[in-house]
């Protein structure tokens, strides 16, 4: 199965973001992808300001508008889709990832466990986390979902290992402090850390990160990566570019 890791550019304009996501998902599906992965908080960016009154407006219910958009695309192109969003449930906000089937059904609603998507002093009565790594069986194999910092959370890793997934999917939102898309810094300083965490999971991990300018809460440097359980970078997409990384899970063929 061909997997498409999408690196979409996120702006303040939500409608513009939706159009770009629809365009990139359509492009990936027409290229033969059967499994599509979008980044963390892919419609808005990880732009929470730790102010409940304003941050609640970033959230969407599940199911809701964002899940309906991805469900419609999944049905139209008969694809599996993973995407991240701020999930609003009553007066609470979660950092959530969703797996949707080709029939438009939600197979996994995973709430990030690691708390580092928000400030330490943020309101614990409003900002919430999940407590369980989740997986589902697909024709692609058994897949588990984690989000960004979960990959560096030993509790999450331990739970994931017990699930024995064939693949782990990690939507991400990452930036450097200076707002740059410094490929050399990533390759030399950051990527080795991610490789070590993937090796702890002992299975292939798919990571994709959105792209955004610095004015969007510090920005995000993009990039996408497929890393094997023994720490080999099987395929990657460069920082600083919008686009799609294609990977064929049939190891005899590279897409």
The 10s digit of each residue's pLDDT in 68-98 is 999 999 999 999 999 999 999 999 999 999 9
Query: 241 near 7, Cβ under 8 Å?
Result: yes
Distance CA 116, CA 123 (A): 13
pTM to 2 decimals? 0.95
Q: How many CB atoms lie within 10 A of CB 78?
A: 11
The 10s digit of each residue's pLDDT in 105-148 is 999 999 999 999 999 999 999 999 999 999 999 999 999 999 99
Of the chain, the end-to-end C-alpha distance in Å amounts to 10
Q: 85 phi and psi, to 5 degrees?
A: -155, 160
Q: How far is CA 172 from the centre of its chain?
A: 5
Per-residue model confidence (pLDDT) at position 249: 83
Query: 254 near 248, Cβ under 8 Å?
Result: yes
Per-residue model confidence (pLDDT) at position 214: 82
- Domains (ranges, CATH) in the chain? 2-248 (3.60.110.10)
The 10s digit of each residue's pLDDT in 204-235 is 999 999 999 987 877 899 999 999 999 999 99
What average pLDDT score do residues 229-252 get? 91
């Amino acid at each position: 199965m061909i997997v498409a890791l999408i690196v979409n550019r996120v702006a303040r304009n939500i409608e513009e973001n939706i159009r770009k996501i629809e365009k990139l998902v359509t492009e990936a599906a027409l290229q033969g992808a059967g499994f599509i992965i979008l980044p963390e908080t892919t419609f808005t960016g990880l732009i929470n300001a730790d102010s409940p009154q304003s941050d609640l407006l970033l959230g969407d219910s599940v199911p809701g508008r964002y899940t309906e958009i991805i469900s419609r695309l999944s049905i139209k192109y008969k694809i599996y889709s993973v995407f991240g969003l701020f999930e609003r449930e009553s007066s609470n906000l979660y950092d959530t990832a969703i797996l949707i089937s080709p029939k438009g059904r939600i197979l996994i609603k995973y709430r990030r466990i690691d708390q580092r998507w928000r400030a330490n002093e943020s309101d614990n009565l409003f900002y919430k986390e999940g407590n369980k790594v989740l997986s589902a069986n697909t024709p692609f194999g058994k897949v588990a979902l984690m989000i960004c910092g979960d990959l560096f959370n030993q509790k999450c890793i331990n739970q994931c290992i017990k699930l024995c997934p064939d693949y782990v999917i990690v939507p991400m939102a990452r930036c450097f402090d200076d707002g740059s898309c410094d490929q050399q810094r990533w390759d030399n300083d950051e990527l080795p850390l991610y490789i070590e965490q993937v090796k702890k999971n002992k299975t292939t991990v798919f990571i994709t990160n959105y792209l955004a300018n610095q004015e969007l809460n510090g920005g995000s440097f993009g990039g996408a990566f497929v890393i094997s359980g023994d720490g080999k970078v099987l395929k990657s997409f460069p920082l600083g570019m919008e686009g799609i990384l294609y990977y064929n899970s049939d190891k005899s063929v590279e897409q």
